[in-house]
Amino acid sequence: MKTILVTGGAGFLGSHLCDLLLARGDEVICVDNFFSGRKENIAHLRNHPRFELIRHDITNPLFIEVDQIYNLACPASPVAYQYNPIKTIKTSTEGMIRMLGLAKRCKARILQASTSEVYGDPEVHPQTEDYWGNVNPLGPRSCYDEGKRVAESLCMNYHLAHKLEVRIIRIFNTYGPRMDPNDGRVISNFITQALRGEPLTIFGNGQQTRSFCFVDDLLNGMMRLMDQDVTTGPINIGNPGEFTMLELAQLVLELTESKSSLKNVDLPKDDPKQRCPNITLAKSILGWEPRVPLREGLQKTIAYYRELLKL
Ligand code: NAD
Ligand code: UDP
């Protein structure tokens, strides 16, 4: 049994990760400042004998004893991370330094939840891990993209300087139950709009693409990366199935049997035109590939929102 710290453990991905680690027999310490996470996501764990919740901001010092750290703390939706851009940068930089310092003192292995956003608006397609990316360092997404790039650099330098055991996962758009219905991401927006009979908001002409990975697949890859001894990473984890936002909207309308219309609104600045992971490394090193097709994952997510929102 290991003692495992999950930062951002009350968030969408973090709460599922807590569930999986507890089910495996580990002791889990969940740290969250509830900026974009929700107590409901972990309410069912409150009385679990191996679960502990600490309300804490990772930019502040934390002195606990742990064997592993999954550093997921950071708002992930553009609406959330642009709400307070300076705080977002601090979480990915100061917070990362705090967590690396904790890992160093405890001699703990640490996994950093990085992102496909380090590739920016990519000119290499699909994106391989050796692509350096095309990020606007001054644009509205830079607080997130550049913060995550610095976090990767910090991880690599702690690994080189202190022989810290680091793992870097580059997560591509992931969806599923427990995504905050109000977080402004495309899947939560489209499903809640379709269920309420409101128009689906297509940003720009809807021809931009994303590749959507179901949460169960993503976490399976994340835990495999943490527990292998071959590589520090970075490793892309995502589903290479690539869809335009118009295709996604049509699929959501079909699966919800909604009569909602589509409404075109302005494309946000610096919105990446295309995104698709090359997962060759994940396949060869982790023996991992996604199993849940978009249609099936959307059905599960729609069922969750129907229940949550009583729609
Ligand atoms: P989320 O917003 O649901 O979860 C993030 C959690 O971190 C929240 O519970 C939030 O309250 C907490 N948090 C934020 N700042 C904090 C701080 N300073 N101290 C303590 N807690 C803090 O987002 P998510 O989708 O679960 O994403 C989890 C991680 O995965 C993030 O680091 C994100 O950047 C990364 N990621 C997610 C996706 C995705 O599609 N979901 C894609 C790429 C990367
Ligand atoms: N998007 C959209 N309608 C929405 C929300 C998002 O068309 O209501 C688009 C957005 O412009 C982007 C894609 O969907 O091209 C994915 O957006 P999201 O915020 O989910 O993630 P990210 O841009 O970070 O990949």
What digits encode the pLDDT tens for the residues 126-139?
A: 999 999 999 999 99
Q: What is the pLDDT of residue 311?
A: 85
Alpha helices by DSSP H, listed for 57-174, are 78-83, 85-106, 142-162
Domain count along the chain: 2
Phi-psi region of 122 (alpha: psi -120 to 50; beta: other; left: phi over 0): beta
pLDDT at 206 over 90: yes
Whose CA is closest to atom 41 on ligand 1? 174
Quick one: 120 and 204 in the same domain? no
Let me know: does 167 contact 229? Beta carbons within 8 Å.
Answer: no
DSSP state letters, 51-81: EEEEE--TTS------SEEEE--S--SHHHH
Residue 203 is part of which domain span?
A: 175-210+241-276+292-309
Does residue 287 sit within a domain? no
Does residue 204 sit within a domain? yes
Q: Is 33 in the pocket of ligand 1 (CB under 6 A)?
A: yes
Cα(185) to centroid(ligand 2), Å: 6
Quick one: 109 and 227 in the same domain? yes
**Helices 12-24 and 215-227 sit at what angle, rounded to 10 degrees?**
60
Does residue 65 sit within a domain? yes
Whole-number mean pLDDT of the chain? 97
Cα(179) to centroid(ligand 2), Å: 14
Quick one: 266 and 141 in the same domain? no
How confident is the model over 215-256, as pLDDT tens digits? 999 999 999 999 999 999 899 999 999 999 999 999 999 999
- Beta-bridge partner residues of 29: 5, 52
Quick one: 149 and 10 in the same domain? yes
Whether the full predicted model's pTM is greater than 0.95, yes or no, is: yes
- Residue among 70, 81, 144, 158 flagged as catalytic: 144
Q: Which ligand is nearest to the CA of 210?
A: 2
Q: What is the pLDDT of residue 18?
A: 98
Q: Is 173 in the pocket of ligand 2 (CB under 6 A)?
A: yes
Does residue 283 sit within a domain? no
Question: Which CATH number goes with the domain that contains 85?
Answer: 3.40.50.720
Q: What is the pLDDT of residue 80?
A: 95
Cα(267) to centroid(ligand 1), Å: 24
Q: Ligand 1, from 34, 54, 57, 72: best to mutate by most atoms within 8 Å of Cβ?
A: 72
Segment 62-78 mean pLDDT:
97
Quick one: 143 and 161 in the same domain? yes
Question: Which CATH number goes with the domain that contains 254?
Answer: 3.90.25.10
Q: What is the pLDDT of residue 296?
A: 98
> Percent of the chain having pLDDT more than 70?
100
Segment 166-183 mean pLDDT:
97
Quick one: 57 and 188 in the same domain? no
Q: Is 131 a catalytic residue?
A: no
Quick one: 245 and 218 in the same domain? no
Quick one: 170 and 252 in the same domain? no
Quick one: 252 and 167 in the same domain? no
